[in-house]
Amino acid sequence: MLSSSCRVSVSITAVVGAAARTTPKIPNFRFIGLKKFQLASNPKSRMEVSHLANFTTRASAQPLKNAEELIDSVETFIFDCDGVIWKGDSLIDGVPETLDMLRSKGKRLVFVTNNSTKSRKQYGKKFETLGLSVSEEEIFASSFAAAAYLKSIDFPKDKKVYVIGEEGILKELELAGFQYLGGPEDGGKKIELKPGFLMEHDESVGAVVVGFDRNFNYYKIQYGTLCIRENPGCLFIATNRDAVTHLTDAQEWAGGGSMVGALSGSTQREPLVVGKPSTFMMDYLANEFNILKSQICMVGDRLDTDILFGQNGGCKTLLVLSGVTSLPTLQCPNNSIQPDFYTNKISDFLSLKAATV
């Protein structure tokens, strides 16, 4: 067990389905992004998706000393949101000025989050509330990734999607034209286990999508399990497998990985993961904006999702210490995930830029 000062909250090495931490090892779940697939929105374009990154020890991360050099070396910055742009409902100091500076230099900005509880439109409203001008097309949530993946594989429109998750997933599925059931309305449903009781399920369900769900219950577990185990070819899709999340600033809370883990345990199946650190969203972005991954810098506050997401996609990576990861955690000998650079917060782009002039 790692010491508290040296502990890395690595969702891909956590025992899924529990908040307990164990000796890190790489489980056998699948990331989306291990084969060629064709985007429904662009049938002439194919995206060659990279294999999982080699989990080898990298050189130690370097403190960012020359922001100007990093800014000039890439065309696009991908930012995680919570812990990078905001904390809860409060902007992190210097964010508006930093984003304005990057836009003035012609940089493309994209905002990516594993939080599936909101749709892109709902996230757009949050940016607006915080005084940031961000278009819906610049926002990529894992709720959108789930719908985008189904479109990319030409998921049959006569099939349904059973959702274990919140409103964000439902809205994105609806926008993509898919039929769905479940979601929040199943949160109050209960099962009376009487002798001989057999639970019915919709045999037209062709995919079960699991995301973070604050109304997770046994009904949803059983319904999703029946669909995955008994409906031929039914897909098991996870928006992410984060072990913990930050619902309050007082402590860590069980993340979407706990819901995914319950279904994985009951079905004995591993999910297809569409959120970070899967390469699916990175490949989608590269294709959507027609940019080289080597011209992207991923900026995030979590090693196991944000930085690994960038590394799996072949991008430059910058860790900010304004969120989950502390400097002792980054520099812990047990941590093998090393970004290219680290800094305190993204507004360091302004001060470090000025220092190099």
Segment 116-133, tens digit of pLDDT: 999 999 999 999 999 999
Is there a single domain that holds both residue 189 and residue 101?
A: no
Percent of the chain with pLDDT over 70: 82
Residue 9: band (very low, low, confident or very high) from pLDDT cuts 50, 70, 90: very low
* pLDDT for res 37: 41
In a shared domain, residues 316 and 258: no
* Residue 10 pLDDT > 80: no
Residue 9 lies in a domain: no
Looking at the fold, whether 100 and 68 belong to one and the same domain comes out as yes
Classify residue 70: in a domain, yes or no.
Answer: yes
308 in any annotated domain: yes
Q: Note the pLDDT tens digit of each residue in 183-239.
A: 999 999 999 999 999 999 999 999 999 999 999 999 999 999 999 999 999 999 999
The answer to whether 82 is a known ligand-binding residue is yes
165 and 258 inside one domain = yes
Which tens digit of pLDDT belongs to each residue from 314-327? Answer: 999 999 999 989 99
Q: Indicate whether 102 and 178 sit together in one domain.
A: no
Give the mean model confidence (pLDDT) for residues 271-277: 96
Averaged pLDDT of the chain:
85
Active site (catalytic) residues: 80, 82
The C-alpha atoms of residue 324 and residue 246 are separated, in whole angstroms, by: 9
Q: Which band of pLDDT confidence, cut at 50, 70 and 90, is reported for residue 43?
A: very low
Which CA distances in Å does 268 have to 11, 28, 115, 357? 19, 11, 25, 57
Q: What is the pLDDT of residue 195?
A: 94
pLDDT the model gives residue 31: 54
Note whether 159 and 199 are same-domain residues: yes
The whole-number average pLDDT for the span 340-354 is: 89
269 and 284 share a domain? no
The per-type count for the chain, helices as H runs and strands as E runs, is: 11, 19
Based on the fold, state whether residues 257 and 327 are members of the same structural domain. no
Predicted pLDDT of residue 27 = 40
> Within a domain: residue 105?
yes
- Of 240, 273, 306, the residue that ends a domain is 273
Say how many domains are in the chain: 2
Among 219, 254, 273, the domain boundary falls at 273
pLDDT digits (tens, 9 = 90+) for 167-184: 999 999 999 999 999 999
Where residue 45 falls among pLDDT bands split at 50, 70, 90?
very low
Average pLDDT over residues 38-61: 45
Report the CATH number at residue 328. Answer: 3.40.50.1000
Say whether pLDDT at 11 is over 50: no
Q: What is the mean pLDDT of residues 142-169?
A: 97
Within a domain: residue 260?
yes
Q: What is the pLDDT of residue 249?
A: 66
User: What is the reported pTM?
Assistant: 0.81
Residue 80 among known ligand-binding residues: yes
Identify whether 45 is part of a domain.
Answer: no
Q: What pLDDT score does 248 carry? A: 73
pLDDT band at 88 (very low <50, low <70, confident <90, very high): confident
Q: What is the pLDDT of residue 294?
A: 94
pLDDT of residue 104 exceeding 90, the answer is yes
Same-domain pairing of 238 and 298: no
Domain that holds residue 233: 149-273
Q: Is residue 144, in this structure, part of any structural domain at all?
A: no
C-beta contacts of 314-319 below 8 A and 24+ residues apart: 314/50, 315/78, 315/282, 316/70, 316/73, 316/74, 316/340, 316/341, 317/341, 318/64, 318/70, 318/342, 318/343, 319/61, 319/343
CA distance 318 to 311: 10
Q: Would you say residue 267 has pLDDT above 50?
A: yes
Residues 324 and 249 in one domain: no
Domain boundary among 258, 273, 288: 273
Q: Is 301 part of any known ligand binding site? A: yes
Determine, yes or no, domain membership for 14. no
**What number is the average pLDDT over the span 52-77?**
80
Query: Does residue 282 contact residue 312 with C-beta atoms inside 8 Å?
Result: yes
Same-domain pairing of 190 and 268: yes
What pLDDT digit, counting tens, does each position of 244-257 carry?
887 776 778 899 99
Residues 281 and 269 in one domain: no
What is the mean predicted confidence (pLDDT) over 88-117?
95
